[in-house]
Amino acid sequence: MKVWGQGVGAAVAVGILGAALGACLVPVAAHAAAFDPVAATQAYLDTVAADARAKSNAYFEGGYWLQLWRFLVSLAVAAVFLAGGVARRLRDGLGRLGRFDTPLFVVAYTVIDYLLSLPFVVYADWYREKRYGLMNQTLGDWFGDQLIQLAISSLFGGLLIWALYAIVRRLGRRWWIWATAFSVAALAVIVVVTPVFLAPLFNKYEAMKPGPVREALLSMARSNEVPATDVYEFNASRQSNKISANVSGLFGTTRISLTDTLLQRCTLAEIKAVMGHEMGHYVLHHVFVLLAYLSILMFVAFLLVDGAFGRLTRGGRWGITGLGDVAGLPLVMVLFTAYFFLMTPVLNTIIRTQEAEADAFGLNLAREPDGFATVALKLAEYRKLAPGKWEEVVFYDHPSGYNRILRAMRWKAETPMESQAAEPKP
């Protein structure tokens, strides 16, 4: 699954797209009598122009360093709040306002934190995307979306953290057990409300119009008991030309959505390959599995905060009086950030494993190994195609293009021709 609102813009004409569209023609090695999956995979990779490969590698590898920089920026911002005395002064100032001082502190902290990080965020998430031809929005449009996100995180963050402070202050030593349970429940609520209330703030969602594509997708859904009576299309081209689809929501709000870019840029075989993958997430209950993993990670995070916070603030350092003191929030946040930064390979591996499962499911459902391969090449516009083994383990939240195509070619080799779908027309 892919998170809504993520990622942004690609220029249609960039070289790699031309190469990817060219690759809709099934390469010769993919037809050979004695079918060799490795050779067929290589044949697909060879259809991508060298300059397009170099560009996508540079974009993705630069992203590794950005993760480190993002972390260092958050450390610097925390230093301003703690050592710079901003958190202490803010707490003392808001303390005079009475019982809403905690949620007000959270909102003020969220906004100041955002403003201090803004130069970096503009560079990393707008300027750099634009430079790589992956951004369709003007700076003003992009910033408008940022303000909506900031409002949402202030509101949700204010309520969530207010509740967590109430837990810490009332429940004492065993607070981290209740904090974990509460956080996972809150996360589930966010997953439920996102497709219905939050995603439409950024993009227009419409039920797909009747036609052969919609019919093919609903037929796939019916054959696997995915209770979807509608498929949603949204105008992701507003932000970028990246192709994407997702399963979002939980319980009654679960839905399958695909981007207008996917419909415009892909053949029916490719669309079926992508949607087979998305239905896999649904059938395999990946949202629930992910929530279960996250609850374990959060539990450890809260335990870590419980252990480290007292040591770091001993003697009233930075004017913090204890874990229940909201002036310590920047420290709590930085401990969380450091923990999840170090956990990046673990979290990526959990998600990548689900993605690989959805790939396998999607191949069996859509029976379009070549459509799957060509769409994997299109995704390589913004994801390095063939990383090293450990590079993939540490940095990839989806399988690499190479491994996805190899999986499709193995499936093709092992599946009798008569039970495969027709190959995509050039």
Q: Which residues bind Zn ion (CB under 5 A)?
A: 1, 355, 358
Shortest Å distance, C-beta 358 to Zn ion: 5
Check: CB of residue 184 under 8 Å from CB of residue 294.
Answer: yes
Nearer to Zn ion, 1 or 377 (CB): 1
CA dist., res. 358 & res. 256, Å (int):
14
Shortest Å distance, C-beta 79 to Zn ion: 37
Shortest Å distance, C-beta 154 to Zn ion: 30
CA dist., res. 301 & res. 305, Å (int):
6
Nearer to Zn ion, 10 or 273 (CB): 273
The first and second tokens of residue 367, run together, are 């029976």
Nearer to Zn ion, 260 or 355 (CB): 355
Shortest Å distance, C-beta 163 to Zn ion: 31
CA dist., res. 28 & res. 26, Å (int):
7
Shortest Å distance, C-beta 280 to Zn ion: 8
Closest by CA to 46, choosing from 25, 69, 72, is 25
The first and second tokens of residue 51, run together, are 């300059």
Output the CA torsion 61→202→71→82 (10° steps): 170
Nearer to Zn ion, 165 or 396 (CB): 396
DSSP bridge pairs for 30: none
Burial class (CB in 10 A: 0-12, 13-18, 19+), 187: middle
Nearer to Zn ion, 36 or 397 (CB): 397
Shortest Å distance, C-beta 257 to Zn ion: 12
Shortest Å distance, C-beta 314 to Zn ion: 45
Nearer to Zn ion, 37 or 399 (CB): 399
DSSP bridge pairs for 205: 234
Shortest Å distance, C-beta 353 to Zn ion: 11
All residues at 6 or more sequence positions from 289 whose CB lies less than 8 Å from its CB, including other chains: 354
Nearer to Zn ion, 334 or 379 (CB): 379
CA dist., res. 28 & res. 9, Å (int):
32
Shortest Å distance, C-beta 361 to Zn ion: 10
All residues at 6 or more sequence positions from 262 whose CB lies less than 8 Å from its CB, including other chains: 243, 244, 245, 271, 274
Check: CB of residue 275 under 8 Å from CB of residue 366.
Answer: yes
CA dist., res. 145 & res. 136, Å (int):
13
All residues at 6 or more sequence positions from 22 whose CB lies less than 8 Å from its CB, including other chains: 47
Nearer to Zn ion, 55 or 242 (CB): 242
Alpha carbon distances (Å) from 65 to 60, 61, 70, 261, 395? 9, 7, 9, 29, 11
Nearer to Zn ion, 133 or 362 (CB): 362
